[in-house]
Structure 1
Amino acid sequence: MVATGTLLTFGVAAAASLFMAWAIGAGSSGSTPFAPAVGANAISVMRAGLIVGVLGFFGAVFQGANVTEAVGSELIIGEPLTATAAIVGLITAAVLVAIGVFAGYPIATAFTVTGAIVGVGLAMGGAPAWAKYAEIMTLWVLTPFVGGGIAYGIARLLRGDRFDEDYLIALLGGVIGFIIANVGFAFLGPPDGSGSIAGTLGAGLPLPTVAGVDGGQIVAALAVAALSVAVLWFALNRDRTAGQRRFLLVLGGLVAFSAGGSQVGLAIGPLVPLLGSGIEIPLWAVLTGGGFGLLLGSWTGAPRMIKALAQDYSALGPRRSIAALIPSFAIAQTAVAFGIPVSFNEIIVSAIVGSGYAAGNAGVSRRKMIYTVLAWVGSLVLSFVLAYGIFTLITLVR
């Protein structure tokens, strides 16, 4: 039987986690996915907030395990987080993210949470997980260049006259279909893992292995890609404007789903070590609770940040919005697959700016970008220092 004090402490930690989930839903996962679509007038701000909340909830439940386990157990070596450490780390990060939401600046949640959890972990006496830090920093550093560069390239192609616009967009739809076919989902895999649509559909095809990948999975993924090209091509030929708008909304939905799968781990990851200390709660139940927190944040706090991202960073049209969301989805799914906490603000803002520069700096606010980058770096450093100092002070007082 679990002691009352233990349950009470876990309850406080869970409340801090829910607060963090709300802050993330309001500031990162709730605002970024549909910001390009709102900027292109494909959907209203309030409707975007409602839809992204629901999709983020499902993403948290079906894809949230990898990042959750990474944040909970891979950032510090030797010292599992205590309930007090989890509470300090989560509240510190959540307050900083909430300040960013109300100030209208997209604080990078992954930077903030990672800094806070590493801070309390080191204050507990744990050792730095340098190998994991190298993975995280590599993705963080490459994201603006890769995401912004790809968005710039796609936007340039769509604006040019060398290729037919409908043909290019349909091919881009095929790329998205191929990625979707290979994305891992909890409901398609074993109890302790995930499975993909291509893996499931191709399992029964008697084909040889190619470069270490099952031939059936490759054929199934290509078939999904071809179907995506055909559907989008038909929609564009029927009505180009409506077809682009639908594709843009689908991309926003996919990014919202991916945001839930990634960002929920930032909120509930610190609770993972507590689940093995006499408190028997399945991970899927914790993921559901975290997804609910994201949903509440998206519904109540996201519209302000959606407006900031959609209008303050770059004036977006449908083509540049499509260019921004495609690399955002790909980077997000890469992070989910490898269990790396990543900032959706960094992903989306970089892609928006990259696609904006393709139009000759159209609407790109350099002043806003400088403040944003400073906020990202400052949130990492400040969350680390505050969490380390607060936990050390609490330890000395006790």
Structure 2
Amino acid sequence: MVAIGTLATFAVAALASLFMAWAIGAGSSGSTPFAPAVGANAISVMRAGFIVGLLGFAGAFLQGANVTNAVGTELIGGVTLTAVAAVVALLTAAVLVALGVFTGYPIATAFTVTGAVVGVGLAMGGVPAWAKYQQILSLWILTPFVGGGASYATARTLRSNGTSERVTVPILAGIVGLLVANMEFASLGSNGSSASVARAAALELTGVVGIGETVWFVAASLFVGLIAVAIVGRWMATDQTRGQRRFLLVLGGLVAFSAGGSQVGLAIGPLVPLLDAVTVPLPALLVGGGVGLLAGSWTGAPRMIKALAQDYSSLGPRRSIAAMIPSFAIAQTAVALGVPVSFNEIIVSAIIGSGYAAGGSGVSGRKMLYTVLAWVGSLVLAFGLGYGVFTVVSTAFSV
């Protein structure tokens, strides 16, 4: 039987986690996925906030386990986070993210949560998890260059006079289709494990007419890609402008789903070490985190969507498509690796890349500088506050 004190401390930690989930939904996962679509006038601000909330909830439940476990158990070694440590880390990060939401500057959520958890963990006497830090920092550093570079190249291709958008856009859709076929979902694999649609289909069809798993895997991936080419190709043939906007909305939905799968781990990850004590299953925790993201998206995201869509760059459909494709690819890479990643960093880098493809028009260099400084500052500040606050609390209350 679970002690009342244990339940009480877990309840406090869960409330802190819910506040963090709301802050993330209002800021990072709720605003960034549809910001380019809003900038391209493909969807209204309020409708974007509504849809991204639903898709983020679905992503949290179906793809959230990897990042959740990483944040809860892999950022620090030698110690296990206590309920008090989880509360301090979550509240520290949530306050910083909420300040970003209300001031209009997108604070990188992954930076604040990672910094706060590491700071608290070291204050508890833990040791740094250098291998995980190397993996995380590699993705963080590469994201602006890979995302921005790919966005720039894609936008230049779409703007080229030597290529027809009725051909290039469906080809890009085919690439997205290949990525979708290889997104991992909970319970698709054997024994309830995660697996992609292509991998699950390959396992089911292995041995049929003597064809092995690898061949079926490639065939399933190509099949999904070709379907995407056919659908978007038909859209473009019927109405080119409308086809671009439809494709852009699909991309926004995919990024919103991916945001839920990644960002929910930042909100509920610190609670993972407490689950055994209160016998709460991880899926239930994912649902709770998804509800928090949903609430944040519906109540606070419109402000940040407007900031990203209008303040960072004046985007048309082509540049928006160019920004969203690499964003989706990077997001799914982070989910698969179990690495906490900032969607603000992903989307803003891609917006800059697509903006410079048009000669840099509409891109605010001063705003970009302030944003980068806010990202770095949030990491350092979250680490320092996490370490300092937990040290004071543990000394004062002997916890």
TM-score, normalisation: structure 2: 0.97
- 1:305-350 CA-partner distances (Å, limit 9, x unpaired): 0000001111000000000000000000000000000000000000
Q: Which residue of 1 aligns with 2:184?
A: 184
Q: How does 1:56-205 map to 2 (within 5 A)?
A: 56-191=56-191, 193-203=193-203, 204-205=205-206
Q: How does 1:358-373 map to 2 (within 5 A)?
A: 358-373=357-372
- 1:82-121 CA-partner distances (Å, limit 9, x unpaired): 0000000000000000000000000000000000000000
> Residue type of the partner of 1:308?
A
Which 5+ residue runs of structure 2 have no aligned equivalent?
none
Deviation at 1:191, TM superposition (A): 5.0
Deviation at 1:5, TM superposition (A): 0.7
Deviation at 1:235, TM superposition (A): 1.0
Which 5+ residue runs of structure 1 have no aligned equivalent?
none
How far apart in 2 are the matches of 1:287 and 1:192?
16
Give aligned pairs, total. 394
How far apart in 2 are the matches of 1:53 and 1:190?
30
Decide whether the 8 Å contact of 2:187 with 2:193 is kept in 1: no
Deviation at 1:192, TM superposition (A): 5.2
How far apart in 2 are the matches of 1:325 and 1:72?
29
Decide whether the 8 Å contact of 2:148 with 2:351 is kept in 1: yes
Q: Which residue of 2 aligns with 1:306?
A: 305
How far apart in 2 are the matches of 1:323 and 1:129?
35
> Residue type of the partner of 1:146?
V
Deviation at 1:201, TM superposition (A): 2.2
TM-score, normalisation: structure 1: 0.98
Deviation at 1:149, TM superposition (A): 0.3
The answer to whether the aligner puts 1:316 opposite 2:315 as a matched pair is yes
The answer to whether the aligner puts 1:330 opposite 2:341 as a matched pair is no
How far apart in 2 are the matches of 1:59 and 1:191?
21
- 1:258-313 CA-partner distances (Å, limit 9, x unpaired): 0000000000000000012x210110000000000000000000000000000111
Decide whether the 8 Å contact of 2:79 with 2:126 is kept in 1: yes
- 1:342-382 CA-partner distances (Å, limit 9, x unpaired): 00000000000100000001100000000000000000000
How far apart in 2 are the matches of 1:2 and 1:231?
54
The answer to whether the aligner puts 1:46 opposite 2:46 as a matched pair is yes
> Any idea what SS the aligned residue of 1:362 has?
coil
Q: Which moved more, 1:195-204 or 1:110-119?
A: 195-204
How far apart in 2 are the matches of 1:6 and 1:147?
44
Q: Which residue of 2 aligns with 1:236?
A: 236
RMSD over aligned Cα atoms = 1.0
Q: Which residue of 1 aligns with 2:8?
A: 8
Q: Which residue of 2 aligns with 1:37?
A: 37
How far apart in 2 are the matches of 1:13 and 1:287?
15
- 1:151-205 CA-partner distances (Å, limit 9, x unpaired): 0000000000121111000000000000000110003124552011112222314
> Any idea what SS the aligned residue of 2:84 has?
helix
Q: Which residue of 1 aligns with 2:247?
A: 247
Decide whether the 8 Å contact of 2:21 with 2:264 is kept in 1: yes
The answer to whether the aligner puts 1:281 opposite 2:268 as a matched pair is no
Q: How does 1:370-389 map to 2 (within 5 A)?
A: 370-389=369-388
How far apart in 2 are the matches of 1:54 and 1:172?
26
Q: Which residue of 2 aligns with 1:346?
A: 345
